[in-house]
Structure 1
Amino acid sequence: MQELSAGVRARNFELPDEQTMPWILSGELEIGAVVLVFYGGDWSAYDNGQLAGLARGFEEFDRRRVNLAAISVDPPASSLALKNKLILPFPLLTDPYGEVARLYGLWNEREAEVRPGLVAIDADGTIRSTLVGDDLADRPTEDQISETIRSLKGRTPGARPARRLGEPEVQVTSDQVPEPDNSAPQMLSLERLVSYFDGAITATQILGSRLETRRRSRSTLAETERIGKTLRLYRDYLRETAWMHGLDF
């Protein structure tokens, strides 16, 4: 299934948040524009880094009255732990079987996991833009996110256009979420995440130097530099989060 493209109507859904409270897309659109971030789970270092970055830059969402929510297959209890660890000011929604990810064309059937992606929806329920990663390391830049937020159209006073979405096509309540899978990868601590990114940054620097020495194409070098920049940003966001917890490493 292909991801939904700009200009088409968003697909309505209801999922439980980390507090097991229902979150309904059409209801949020009554307030204003919405950005949905699809991520793999609390086990992923890249997802942790991206969510931490969104949290530390949340002021722009708030200033422009854009509602932000992140979606994964993680159960509410795991999402609550992640939210507390990363100090996230936005809800984490549970899509236990990837049904909403499938609605938006963001489910990888072969790997049975969510594709990292961002879907921006105007308050009238129209998809404004989508940013979908080709792999775990392919994430939107800060500039792309800022541009996405600025492009969104908010709610027109007196209008209630979000009703066009109709009833939720996917409706999951907290009592329908299966018990946590104890065999699943475990959430990494902030210290281990920072250490992970330190190592990844070093590896990327070494790779970039070797590619430059061997005179690889400019596009390959540019892609290596882009990944390195993302790694440094995520490492710094996680360090800032650790400092907010009173930790220093």
Structure 2
Amino acid sequence: MLQSGDIAPAFSLPDADMEIFDLASQVGKQNVVLYFYPRDNTPGCTLQAADFSDHEDEFARYDCIVVGVSPDDCLTHAEFRDKEGLSIRLLSDTDTEACRLYKVWQEREVDGVRKMGVRRSTFIIDKAGRVRHALYDVMPRGHAAAVFELVKELESRNAK
């Protein structure tokens, strides 16, 4: 598992509009909240994405962008974004490359069946490209607010 202080693994993935998001291009520019979620259009994932979208402007005030990643394809992300009115970028990791780099692609048991899936996790990455917080097995309700508090702390420490 990744821990605070680790260099954030670099990756490039397409978003819902098939535009490439390159994590390395954010180094030196802004902080990144990178969250991994299992699937579009499920109750927990919808709640989490909506919460992050609802507070996107607040994150931006702290020089931070929010990016969601799941194994869903770009078209599914676009439909999910449009249906739910989401504003954050949703990245498609169909081959689970980024999920594996961040150690969130794991065997899970769902309804008595063991299968591979995404462990709901969030990483707060600073402008230097280092993981400042690695949060595994997060609960969707209230998660965006908790992450926002960590981002505020990060920026206040950087301002000193």
TM-score (norm. length: structure 1) = 0.56
Structure-to-structure mapping, 1:206-225, within 5 angstroms: none
Return the offset for 1:56: 1.1
User: Mind listing any 5+ residue stretches in structure 2 that lack a counterpart?
Assistant: 109-114
Bigger helix share = 1
Residue pair 1:123, 1:153 contacting (<8 A) in 2 also: no
Give a deviation string over 1:78-124, Cα, whole Å, max 9, x none.
Answer: 10111112222221101112121111111113421111111000000
Note if 1:39 corresponds to 2:41.
no
Structure-to-structure mapping, 1:1-249, within 5 angstroms: 3-110=1-108, 111-133=115-137, 138-139=139-140, 141-153=143-155
Following TM superposition, the consecutive aligned residue runs of length 4 or more in structure 1 with deviations greater than 4 angstroms are: none
Q: CA RMSD in A?
A: 1.9
SS in 1 for 2:134: strand
Give a deviation string over 1:166-206, Cα, whole Å, max 9, x none.
Answer: xxxxxxxxxxxxxxxxxxxxxxxxxxxxxxxxxxxxxxxxx
User: Mind listing any 5+ residue stretches in structure 1 that lack a counterpart?
Assistant: 157-249
2: CA distance, partners of 1:142 / 1:17: 20
Percent identical across equivalent pairs?
28
2: CA distance, partners of 1:142 / 1:38: 13
Q: 1:173 matched to which residue of 2? A: none
2: CA distance, partners of 1:31 / 1:66: 9
Q: Which has the higher contact order (CA 8 A, sep 6+)?
A: 2
Return the offset for 1:151: 2.8
TM-score (norm. length: structure 2) = 0.86
Which has more radius of gyration? Answer: 1
2: CA distance, partners of 1:24 / 1:89: 18
Residue pair 2:15, 2:74 contacting (<8 A) in 1 also: yes
Q: What is the letter of the counterpart of residue 66 of structure 2?
A: L
Q: 2:112 matched to which residue of 1? A: none
Alpha carbons of structure 1 residues 142 and 42: separation in structure 2 relative to 1, 3 Å:
closer
Return the offset for 1:141: 3.3
Q: What is the letter of the counterpart of residue 150 of structure 2?
A: T
